[in-house]
Amino acid sequence: MNLMLFGAPGAGKGTQAKFLIEKYNIPQISTGDILRAAITDKTAMGMEAKKFMDEGKLVPDSTIIGIIKDRLVESDCKNGFILDGFPRTLAQAEALDELMNNMKISLDKVISLNVPDSNIVERITGRRTSKVTGKIYHIKFNPPVDEKEEDLEQRADDTEETVTKRLEAYHTQTAPLIDFYKAKGIFIELDGTKDVSEVTKDMINSLS
Ligand code: AP5
Ligand code: ZN
């Protein structure tokens, strides 16, 4: 199963991806996570990407397409994958089509988690990630049982100021992909404002 999770920053893509990994036993490919790992490792690509990410801007297509090209050919992708946060521009979507055509595979579904902008700032500024397990939490909506044990951290780009810019990038550069995937007949829209477990149920139902 080749899936893509689509939605605004903070819509719940990373949160829902975890359930799909378990259910279908396929890897999550998050370009955001790959870029953050490159920043932690202080690679040249990571340092260059950081400048864009800190400003809430999209990283250039050429960098992102290069990352995906290398990742899709890895052996764990042979039974499918979950794209999270990619593609984000029409150029990326077209490059993905070309890559998948060459591999003789195609996207089965694009799952859109619909959450209005008015909910996004609270979701993003309250997000915390565990340094121990990598799990995504929210201080209000999804707090960890034992905060100390999880050793929580906040993402560098999760400030109110940057969120506004990330939302702007989403509406101008990424939202045009909605029509692109609707035209292919594989676009599923879910109400992402429901509780995490409700969204998971809707998502699994929409795939079966
Ligand atoms: P990326 O890491 O992809 O961030 P994003 O798209 O902004 O999305 P988020 O990770 O912020 O949100 P999410 O939808 O995963 O939500 P989550 O599940 O964590 O990208 C970061 C940056 O990298 C970009 O700005 C860009 O610079 C660069 N980049 C990455 N990919 C790129 C690409 N393809 N092209 C160019 N540049 C790229 O949930 C958020 C919070 O809400 C959490 O606290 C969670 O607990 C809570 N929550 C989740 N679901 C619910 C619910 N149902 N109810 C209540 N709370 C919920
Ligand atoms: Zn995410």
State how far the Cα of 39 lies from the Cα of 34, in Å rounded to an integer. 9
CA of 14 to the centre of ligand 1 (A): 6
* Within-domain flag for 64: no
pLDDT value, residue 41: 98
Query: Is 16 inside a domain boundary?
Result: yes
Range of the domain at 94: 2-26+79-124+174-207
Residue 45 inside a domain? The answer is no
Domain membership flag for residue 200: yes
> Is 68 within the bounds of a domain?
no
Please indicate, yes or no, if residue 179 is contained in any of the structural domains: yes
Residue tagged 């340094």 (tokens): 131
Atom of ligand 1 nearest to the CA of 85: 3
Q: Ligand 1: which of 19, 141, 161 to mutate, most ligand atoms within 8 Å of CB?
A: 141
For residue 127, say whether it is annotated as part of any ligand binding site: yes
Give the pLDDT of residue 148: 85
Task: Tell me what pLDDT residue 147 has.
Answer: 83
Token pair 């905060």 in the structure block, residue: 147
CATH number at residue 200: 3.40.50.300
Distance of CA 152 to the CA centre of its chain: 20
Q: Report the nearest-CA residue for atom 44 of ligand 1.
A: 127
In a domain? residue 120? yes
pLDDT of residue 164: 96
How far are the Cα atoms of 16, 80, 102, 109, 142 from residue 98, in angstroms, in the given order? Answer: 27, 17, 6, 17, 39
Residue stretches of the chain with pLDDT short of 70 = none
Q: Count of domains in the chain? A: 1
Whether the ipTM is more than 0.90: the answer is yes
Q: What was the pLDDT predicted at 146?
A: 87
Whether 128 is a known active-site residue: answer: no
**The token pair that represents 128 in the structure block:** 């915390």
- Report yes or no on whether pTM surpasses 0.95: yes
Evaluate whether residue 14 is within a structural domain. yes
pLDDT in tens, 67-111: 999 999 999 999 999 999 999 999 999 999 999 999 999 999 999
